[in-house]
Structure 1
Amino acid sequence: MNLLSIRIITADIERLIKFYEHITGFSLIQYTPDFAELRTATATLAIGSIRTLQFFGGDDIAQPQQNRSIIIEFKVEDVDKEYERLSAYLQGSIVQKPTIMPWGNKSLLFRDPDGNLVNFFTPVTPEATVRSEGK
């Protein structure tokens, strides 16, 4: 079994597409007006509009802007450079400036426009580097 994708359900898909394109520097693939994906080498971040919920059984299956338990994490080459690049854009959305965590990652934590937590991190200890390479 492999984890392939995480999906965010949103009431404003265009806003989230633009946000994730801006922070990652990648273009999302928008398959329909209601569904887009950001594909990376290891996983996919999918974004679906609330209209896609009808295919899963109805509007009550998921609620946009209600997440308080998931952190969407991106490994980046240099979290300090990413902070410099994005700090003005993320004004008011930064939860934690780059900080070394007890498990060896330097982490920048912020919220996307729907309130989902996003973590850009760089492994800074040998143990964290090995762990992030899946070895």
Structure 2
Amino acid sequence: MNLVSTRIITANVEGLVKFYEEITEIQAIQYTPDFAELKTQTATIAIGSTNTLQFFGGESTAQPAQNRSVIIEFLVDDVDKEFDRLKNYLSSSVVQEPTTMPWGNKSLLFRDPDGNLVNFFTPFTKESIEKFTK
């Protein structure tokens, strides 16, 4: 089994697509005004409008901008470099500047326009580097 995609349901497809294109430097594929994908080497961020909920059981299935438990994480080569590149763009949405976590990753935590938490991280300690090079 492989995790292939994480889908974000939003009332602001255009805004989220622009945001994720900016932070990832990946061009989204916009299939319809209601659905887009940003494909990385290992997984896809899918962005769907609330209109797409009709295909998944109706509007009560998911509610945009209500996440309080999931962090969308991106492994990056150099989290400090990414912070320097994005700090002006993210100025009002940074939750935590690059910080070494107890498990050995250096993490930058910020929110997307819908309030979802996003983590850019780089393995920092010998143990965490080994974990991601196996």
Q: Same fold (TM over 0.5)?
A: yes
The RMSD of aligned alpha carbons is 0.8
Alignment partner, residue 131 of structure 2: 131
4+ residue runs over 4 A deviation: none
Report the equivalent of 2:117.
117
Partner SS for 1:60: helix
Give the match for residue 68 of structure 2: 68
Identity across the alignment (%): 70
Structure 1, unmatched stretches of 5+, are none
| DSSP 3-state at the match of 2:58 | coil
CA distance in 2, matches of 1:20, 1:56: 24
Aligned partner of 1:101 in structure 2 is 101
Partner Cα separation in structure 2 for residue 118 and residue 130 of structure 1: 23
Deviations, residues 29-72 of structure 1 (Å, cap 9, x unaligned): 11111111111111111100000000011101000000000000
Query: Is residue 4 of structure 2 the alignment partner of residue 4 of structure 1?
Result: yes
The residue that corresponds to 2:22 in the other structure is: 22
TM-score normalised by L of structure 1: 0.96
> Structure 2 stretches of 5 or more lacking a match?
none
TM-score, with normalisation over the residues of structure 2?
A: 0.97
1-side partners of 2:131 and 2:63: how far apart?
Answer: 33
Q: Which amino acid aligns with 1:125?
A: T
